[in-house]
């Protein structure tokens, strides 16, 4: 559950220009980064699909994430996760459980706050395919980890060439598991509550939740 939650924000095929340079691929991602950093905050509604053919696994779920700077509030797999800039709080209502932990900056998984910056180091870049999705041009960039010991084989980022927003993220693991995040709705500069990124521990203590600190 935790691994699935940490994975995130955000994310008719035609072959197109496989010979393009890695610098062009990185330049597109830099455009995405600079565009997104210009917003005060972002709200993303998404669909996530987890597949592994060997394990006969296919799981689909919907979620949403609110981001402001490095902070985020994520609803995913029936759980909630909050990062207040210092700690990560994961709430699983089904188990009446809360986990409080420091952020693992070296984790392989792409958390919402890392989704826009993880590409900057430790990856090789390649210009990939262009998709036409309902009249929108989605250009893919393939990222391959330089570290051969990582659990991630590759990450494909699909970028809307007009808005410079991420439309799809496809992460393939060395174990054959593929996780796809597709953005259904992308909203910016929303009227977030002032307490959205503040964790109220007492509220869960009063409910009798079991609280674990790592």
C-beta of residue 34 within 8 angstroms of C-beta of residue 120: no
Domains and CATH numbers, the chain: 16-213 (2.50.20.10)
What's the pLDDT at 13? Answer: 24
What's the pLDDT at 26? Answer: 83
What's the pLDDT at 10? Answer: 34
What's the pLDDT at 16? Answer: 27
Report the greatest alpha carbon distance in the chain.
59
Phi/psi of residue 91, nearest 5 degrees? -115, 125
pLDDT tens track, the chain, 214 positions: 444 444 443 332 222 233 345 788 888 888 888 888 889 999 999 998 999 888 888 999 999 999 888 888 999 888 999 999 889 999 999 999 999 998 765 554 445 555 555 566 677 889 999 999 999 999 999 988 888 788 889 989 899 999 998 899 898 998 889 989 899 999 999 999 999 999 999 999 999 999 999 8
What's the pLDDT at 178? Answer: 93
What's the pLDDT at 116? Answer: 56
User: Could you write out the DSSP letters of every residue in the chain?
Assistant: -HHHHH------EE---TT--HHHHHHHHHHHHHHHHTSS-EEEEEEEEEEETTTTEEEEEEEEEEEETTEEEEEETTEEEEE-SSEEEEEEGGGTEEEEEE--TT-SS--GGGTTTGGGSSEEEEEEEEEEETTEEEEEEEEEES-TTSSEEEEEEEEETTT--EEEEEEEETTS-EEEEEEEEEEES----TTTT---HHHHHHTT-EEEE-
What's the pLDDT at 91? Answer: 96
Question: What sign does the CA torsion over 177, 10, 30, 134 have?
Answer: positive
What's the pLDDT at 139? Answer: 96
pTM here is: 0.80
What's the pLDDT at 37? Answer: 84
C-beta of residue 153 within 8 angstroms of C-beta of residue 142: no
Nearest to 112 by CA among 74, 158, 63: 74
């Amino acid at each position: 559950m935790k691994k699935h939650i940490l994975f995130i924000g955000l994310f008719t095929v035609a072959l197109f220009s496989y010979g393009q340079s890695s610098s062009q691929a990185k330049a597109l991602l830099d455009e995405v980064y600079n565009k997104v950093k210009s917003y005060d905050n972002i709200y993303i509604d998404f669909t996530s699909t987890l597949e592994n053919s060997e394990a006969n696994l296919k799981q689909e779920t919907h979620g949403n994430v609110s981001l402001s700077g490095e902070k985020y509030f994520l609803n995913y797999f029936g759980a909630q996760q909050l990062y207040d800039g210092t700690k990560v709080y994961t709430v699983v209502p089904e188990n009446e459980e809360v986990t409080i932990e420091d952020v693992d900056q070296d984790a392989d998984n792409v958390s919402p706050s890392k989704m826009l910056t993880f590409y900057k180091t430790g990856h090789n870049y390649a210009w990939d395919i262009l998709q036409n999705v309902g009249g929108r041009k989605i250009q893919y960039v393939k990222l391959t980890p330089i570290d051969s010991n990582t659990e991630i084989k590759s990450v494909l980022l699909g970028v809307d060439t007009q808005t410079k927003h991420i439309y799809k993220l496809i992460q393939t693991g060395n174990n054959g598991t593929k996780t796809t995040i597709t953005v259904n709705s992308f909203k910016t500069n929303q009227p977030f509550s002032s307490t959205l990124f503040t964790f109220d521990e007492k509220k869960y203590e009063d409910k009798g939740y079991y609280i674990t600190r790592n």
